[in-house]
Amino acid sequence: MTAEPTPTPQKLSGVSKRRKKSRSQALRWLQKRQLRINRFLKKRLAPIYSRLGITSVVRWFIPGYRQVTVSEGGQSFRGNFLNTGSDHPVIAIVGDYGSGKMESHLVAQMVSERPANAVVTLGDNVYFETGFQTLVGNLYGDFLQSGSFFPAAGNHDYHEGFGIAHFDRFFDFLRGHRWYSVTFGDVDFFVLDSHQALHHPDVLVRQQEWLEAAVTASSAKWKIAVVHHPPHSARARSQEEFRFPYDQWGVCMVMSGHDHTLQHLIFDGVHYVVNGVGGGSLHEFEEILEGTEFRLSGHYGAVFLEAREHVMTVRFVALPGTEVHSFDISASQRTPSSEAEAG
């Protein structure tokens, strides 16, 4: 395969209009009340919708609502670190957090207090029509404002929050690219849009080809693939379509959400992390997978990455701030130049 030239990463200056906004007690009560009413109506209207063949009344008024549209992809970005006083910046990985529940706020508070210097999400940034500002901006606005926040798209980002068009609008710094790469220091993240790929086979092929070319062209010490639907998971929800030859390409870790548990697995020398405990309703395990190094259900939390000169430490932290698992990944010696010489 002929690798396409890697675009020059674009530096972000931050999104000032996404600043964190505090909510009054009255507004919080009103939004919770609205969510309860929405759930009540949704449950009782579902049989009527099914009988009449109606998928969504909202779609009559909002074009593209709940449609899995095809997006641009392949752009490279260079993220900023928030509060760069630390010699070893910490990157927080948050998954499936956009519920608006108290736990999602507690996880965001833990991320800020640890403190983290950047945030990468694993998808499902919203679960309800409450809106991106309420479910994302009010939690991680400081990171958005400084250009230190990069999201993956999940299935709920397409089906909730009035559709994926609002994802594109809120995260407008991505310029419509729902699969892209972002560099934070010595770490390159390659963010896929698994929901789009599962609905459009040609997009799945395009993302795989782009991922292989982008990873092999990267000279980062650590190369991490982000895909919302996990290639391996102990909830019988593994998505085999994304079991790419990561080890051959030089990916050291694959990070996913979708399953609301914490898991660490190893296959072919590649670390697989499932982290969907950022605020959505929690799941239980359904099976035990070979290759499992650690797993935990019933707890909210986040994963933190700290890259030093030769090793990156990955920490699983559960609320209220308890480290429950950790492991190290050595810096990669594979670079495009060295691989060319070896060939």
| CATH number, domain with residue 100 | 3.60.21.10
- 93, 230: one domain: yes
Tokens of 320: 């209220």
- 33, 156: one domain: no
- 114, 164: one domain: yes
Q: Are 122 and 152 in contact (CB under 8 A)?
A: yes
> For residue 57, what pLDDT is reported?
47
The DSSP symbol for 34 reads H
The model's pLDDT over 68-106, given as tens digits with 9 standing for 90+, comes to 898 889 999 999 999 867 789 999 999 999 999 999 999
- 44, 171: one domain: no
Specify the number of domains making up the chain. Answer: 2
- 168, 40: one domain: no
The model's pLDDT over 273-295, given as tens digits with 9 standing for 90+, comes to 999 999 999 999 988 888 999 99
- 192, 257: one domain: yes
- 130, 230: one domain: yes
The model's pLDDT over 315-338, given as tens digits with 9 standing for 90+, comes to 999 999 999 999 999 998 555 444
- 44, 186: one domain: no
- 334, 307: one domain: yes
Asked if pLDDT for residue 262 goes beyond 50, the answer is yes
Residues ≥6 apart with Cβ < 8 Å to 121: 93, 94, 95, 97, 149, 150, 151, 152, 257, 278
Summary count for the chain: helices (H), strands (E): 10, 15
> For residue 200, what pLDDT is reported?
93
CA gap 42, 36 in Å, rounded:
10
Alpha-helical regions (H) of 122-249: 132, 138-145, 155-159, 164-170, 194-199, 201-217, 246-249
Q: Which domain holds residue 110?
A: 64-342
**Bridge-based pairing state of the strands 72-78 and 177-184:** parallel
